[in-house]
Amino acid sequence: MKKLCKLYMGVCILSVLLTGCQSSGSSDNSDSARYVKALLDVAYGKDVKEYAELTGEKEADVKKHAGHSLAAEAKVMAAYFGMEEPSEEVVSTFEEICTLLYEKASYSVEEKDGKVTVTINPVTTLQSDAVTEYADNYNIKTFVDGEASDDEAFAKGLLEAVKAEKAGTAKESIKVTVIVKEKDKTFTVSDEDLMKIDEQIIAY
């Protein structure tokens, strides 16, 4: 496939949002699982209501964070496919692709013995035969046949391939255990643990 660097979806918003997760102050450790689930729901475009209720933030503000993150992730995805300085149109197309992939994101969260486990069924769309074939054919035309590279055309073609692909998530799940720390009624998770979750959401 046309790619140059490793992509981690959602990390920007995960890092930003988690620092604002306020604890209820109760001794119920399940709060940590609720916050992680709400955080992931925002990061991957599922829902903002639970996160807003738990943190006291306005839903509009949470949605604004999510919107900014989507634009940032679109640029990261463009870089993944070898586009260092994508145009606004290319970024917009990749935002649509990210949104479609986020819609398929599948995960559940539970707390046990002070640790939070996220069970993930990775999105397999980008590994599908149709999407892989599209990217490979584009590479052949560009790097073998010598046709001029066109980022906008590639992005639009990739979007159509993703739209047409019905493949959802992997049947086998992956479990990622993270440690949620609480201090001064604020939950935090290390960047390393956030990355472990994020790198499993979408399979490449």
Q: What is the pLDDT of residues 67-76, one digit of tens each?
A: 777 888 788 8
pLDDT category at 21 given cuts 50, 70, 90 is low
3-state secondary structure of 25: coil
Q: Per the domain annotation, does 24 fall within a domain?
A: yes
Q: Which has the closest alpha carbon to 82: 31, 44, 139?
A: 139
**pTM for this one?**
0.80
For strands 115-121 and 174-178, give the pairing: antiparallel
- What's the rounded Cα separation, in Å, for the pair 91 and 74? 6
Q: Per the domain annotation, does 37 fall within a domain?
A: yes
Calculate mean pLDDT across residues 125-145: 90
- State which residues form the domain around 180: 11-201
Q: Per the domain annotation, does 45 fall within a domain?
A: yes
User: How many domains is the chain partitioned into structurally?
Assistant: 1
Give the residues across from 22 on adjacent strands.
186
- What's the rounded Cα separation, in Å, for the pair 150 and 143? 12
Q: Give pLDDT tens digits for 48-64.
A: 898 888 878 899 988 88
Q: Are 173 and 120 in contact (CB under 8 A)?
A: yes
Q: Per the domain annotation, does 2 fall within a domain?
A: no
Q: Per the domain annotation, does 146 fall within a domain?
A: yes
